[in-house]
Structure 1
Amino acid sequence: MTETAHAARTAERDCPECGEPVAEGGKYVTWCAACDWNVDPGLEDEETPGRIERVRRRLAQRYGEQLLADLADLADPAAGAEPGAAADGARPGTRRGVAGWCATALAVAVHGVTVALLAGGLWLLVGCWGRGALPVLGGLLIGVAVVLRPRFARLPKDEGHRAVLRPADAPRLFALLDEVAATVGTTGVRAVVIDAGFNASVSAYGIRQHRVLRIGLSLWEVLSPQERIALLGHEFGHYAHGDTRHSLLVGGAFQSLDTWRYTLAPAPAHSLVEDFANLMTALPRLLVDGLLVLLEHLTLRQSQRAEYLADSTAARTAGAEAAAGLMDRLLIGESVAGALRRESVAARTRIGGAARREDPAEGLWERLTAHAASVPEHEYERLRRVAERRGHQVDSTHPPTHLRHRRLTRGAPGGALIVLDAARAAEVDADLAEARRSVARELVRG
């Protein structure tokens, strides 16, 4: 860094709000830590969420704060409690509660509508054959039931922008996954899906509900080895703790209600007939919205509790410091996405030094790691404050990120049950090498 650049970076001016000295942010936002002046300049550009999403955000904030207080009596997140143990000693995955049973009953009712449509359609089609338009109506009802049927997830295909790994493809990676799973108190996965996303998740596919882990390289590559263990501990913690919302029964009900909502959405009206159609669907649409909000209300608290407990699992597995570091990394998703967009533009236009590289994808992840490492602490602090103001969360099933970070950092630092040393981290990277290359090539191609 040149002296001029260093001077520009460290230059100060007075805050226009409180008069305190403010350091110039350089390529990052300039803001005042004393009064939060300009801490969130992008707030006006944030897209206004829809009605259902606003309800979800309010519930997420409320339940996140309530659960943070309720779990204050739970053992320190980094303490060596039994994997999956709840505050009362019960396995969290077995604690359904009144809300859980109500959600299950509502899900059964939603699926009952689908079964009734199918049964009614078959009766009209077979029993009323030859009676005017009744068989046609029966066929329509069967078609609606087919659209609303619960679906089993499928394992994604191995394509250019995505790689699907099995134990034979990456034995050292799967050995690490099995070790983390055993430490958490659950079993490993059948497959790992590698893509470019800034996320990670666990799910199940097929009739037999085989387990699969999804790893987004944009997130994985900016984590330290120990933060990667925290990420894996958190994801496997979901298997250990359970979540009613992601069960086949309740998850399928959400899917069916979302399909109804999409089907009943008002269309642009250009005639009286279209106005009449929108009017006729208004009441069913409100009913579906109400059912979605109710199911959200019944399941969200348990889902957020599972997230907090998965954070505890991450802290026990990798250490509280690594788990809190993972929370911070989640805040720089937009910055990482911007860096990847610049890499893609540079590769396609041959600017910014890309012309000097035979393969623009070569070293992409290393450059992304360097970008993440260059984010200064004052930017992380700003993003934490922005997260608290906006109630930032990964999605509506997660407690706000700042609450998760607070819970992980308020106790005494704890040791890690698994330490990923440099040699073993390099072995895992070697297993991921081909997937890293293929995903990088797709990214720079845009």
Structure 2
Amino acid sequence: MEAVEEVAAPQVRQCPECGTEVTVHVRYVSWCAACDWNVDPGAPDPDRGRLAQVRRRLARRYGEQLAEEVARGGSAAGRVGADRSTVLAFGLALLVHGVTAGLFLAAAVLIIGGWHTGIQPVLGGLLLVAVAVLLPRPGRLPQGAPLLYRADAPGLFGLVDEVGAAVGTAGVHAVVVDASANAGVRTYGFRGRRVMFLGLGLWEILTPQERVALLGHELGHFANGDVRSSFVTHGALRTLGAWHSFLVPASRGNLMDWLLNTLLFLPRWAVYGLIHVLDGLTMRASQRAEYLADAGAARAGSAGAAVALLDRLLISEGVEAHLRRESVTAARAGGGSGGREAREAAERELWERLAARIGSVPESEYERLRRVSARRGHSVDDTHPPTHLRRRCLASADPRPARVVCDGPRARSIAAELAPARAALARQVIRDHAG
């Protein structure tokens, strides 16, 4: 298998709407930059229901308001603080945890005070089971994915430490490498240790300086705080989700189920309402945290690298399709005469071919996706501001040089440290996608 496949040369045609010359790339949508003909030929976003539409409108409004604040250098440009919504969110979260604490106390009273009755300790034991389900739990490291510690990848951890210092925080204790086109950070364990998740589907399509911006963005969440991901608030959302799952109606259709579901109707919808209230109270703070994390990306890797990173996020939706296509091709090659050698070659070249494919995307396709993003209000999810607003804020900010530089030798050293994980994940991706 060749590392880079041939691409047909672009052609020129006239726009059927305005007659402007349009460059046609065989792999990508043909569209007109002058009149936006065919700029968004895909199906519209699916209808997500009334509550989801209200939530999305609210998210867009917050995103626009915060973008204006960032442009003015207002409160959104500073560290996430305890505004009214944040205070209310913490109050509601503590109330939820207070109910769990009340259940624990009730269980203790039933077990200790009613031990001689026989039935009360049983009821208390059932309440303790419920408390065990509802208690917030610290995060855990995933099983099965390549896991790196400082001794395994000193160069990578050194880069993370340097980026952390640039954005005003410490590094991480562990790095989990997977095949996704994503990245993230969170804490794990009762000591609150930090872990970073690096998806090779995203990491491999970035330039070294864009990787610095990515690290700056993720570590920026630790530096600035995010009420939604805090132990108290996140735990309350998880507890409410457990309540709602318990109260979801059964579907067997007998009379007893009907009576039970009728009795649980109001509690179920009360819990559902609390989930949406807590979600709404934390949404604005979460979006503000994303703008601040973007500022961290620009501070660490440069504004240009941070802008380019957001463009890569727009194109990263095609990573999964490319990996699936490569895996099917590898499976077919593996069934031929040189099967094992062909499959091993596919595994070795998987990430290089992905990087080459994304690297060949023309600027016109990036511009089209930026316009589609603005039309549809594209965002990673509703806790993130619209991508085009994030990009606009970064592009309009004063240009700053990178505080952290990842040059060629450093990038190659880190690539060597990631080589075992890259090989293992390439085998896994080809096996999973090829069936």
2:11 maps to 10
Alpha-carbon offset, residue 423 of structure 1: 1.2
**What is the identity percentage for the equivalent residue pairs of Structure 1 and Structure 2?**
51
**Matching of residue 403 in structure 1 with residue 378 in structure 2:** no
Q: Describe how 1:16-415 pairs up with structure 2 within 5 A.
A: 20-44=20-44, 46-49=45-48, 53-74=52-73, 87=77, 92-93=79-80, 95-129=81-115, 131=117, 133-157=119-143, 159=144, 162-268=145-251, 270-350=253-333, 357-359=342-344, 360-415=346-401
Q: Which shifted more, 172-181 or 356-365?
A: 356-365
Q: What amino acid maps onto 2:11 in structure 1? A: T
Separation in 2, partners of 1:238, 1:375: 30
- Assess if the C-alpha contact under 8 Å between 1:304 and 1:399 holds in 2: yes
Distance 2:333 2:388 in 1: 40
3-state SS of paired residue (2:267): helix
Which residue identity does 1:65 align to in structure 2?
E
In structure 1, distance between residues paired with 2:316 and 2:6:
30
Query: 1-side partners of 2:312 and 2:333: how far apart?
Result: 30
Aligned CA-pair RMSD: 2.6
CA contact (8 A) 2:334 2:342 kept: no
Q: Secondary structure at the match of 1:213?
A: strand
| Paired residues for 1:408-427 under 5 Å | 408-427=394-413
Q: CA deviation at 1:417?
A: 1.3
Cα deviations across residues 32-52 of structure 1 (Å, max 9, x unaligned)? 3344343333334x4443555
Task: Give the secondary structure class of the aligned counterpart of 1:250.
Answer: helix
How far, CA to CA, are the matches of 2:361 and 2:161 in structure 1? Answer: 33
Q: Which residues of structure 2 form unaligned runs of 5+?
A: none
Q: Structure 1 pair 51/249, CA: closer, same or farther in 2 (3 Å)?
A: farther
Matches of 2:116 and 2:316 in 1, distance apart? 60
- Residue type matched to 1:261 in 2? H
- Stretch moving more, 30-39 or 390-399: 30-39
Shift of the 168–272 alpha-carbon distance from structure 1 to 2, 3 Å rule, reads: same
1:352 Cα offset (Å): 11
Deviation at 1:102, TM superposition (A): 1.2
What whole-Å deviation, never above 9, does each CA across 1:231-256 have from its counterpart, x for those lacking one? 01111111111111111111101111
The answer to whether the 8 Å contact 1:319/1:415 transfers is yes
Alignment: residue pair count: 426
Amino acid at match of 2:32: C
Query: Are residues 153 and 415 of structure 1, via their aligned partners in 2, closer, same or farther at CA, if it must alter by over 3 Å?
Result: same
3-state DSSP of counterpart to 1:357:
helix
1:365 CA displacement: 0.7
Q: Which runs of 5+ in 1 are unaligned?
A: 76-84
With 348-357 and 243-252 compared, the bigger mean Cα shift is at 348-357
Q: Displacement of 1:56 after TM fit?
A: 3.4
Q: Is the 8 A contact 1:269 1:275 kept in 2?
A: no
Contact 1:56 1:296 in 2 (8 A): no
* Alpha-carbon distance between aligned partners in 1 of 2:85 and 2:428, rounded to the nearest angstrom: 44
> 1:124 Cα shift?
2.4
TM-score, length of structure 2 as denominator length: 0.90
What does the per-residue CA deviation read over 1:340-372, in whole Å, with 9 as the maximum and x for residues that have no partner?
A: 011121222227999562502111110000011
- Structure 1 residues 14 and 181, CA gap change in structure 2 (3 angstroms): closer
CA distance in 2, matches of 1:59, 1:112: 29
Q: Is the 8 A contact 1:151 1:252 kept in 2?
A: yes
Structure 1 distance, partners of 2:208, 2:216, is 13
What's the offset of the Cα at 1:139? 2.8
Structure 1 residues 52 and 137, CA gap change in structure 2 (3 angstroms): farther
TM-score, with length taken from structure 1: 0.88
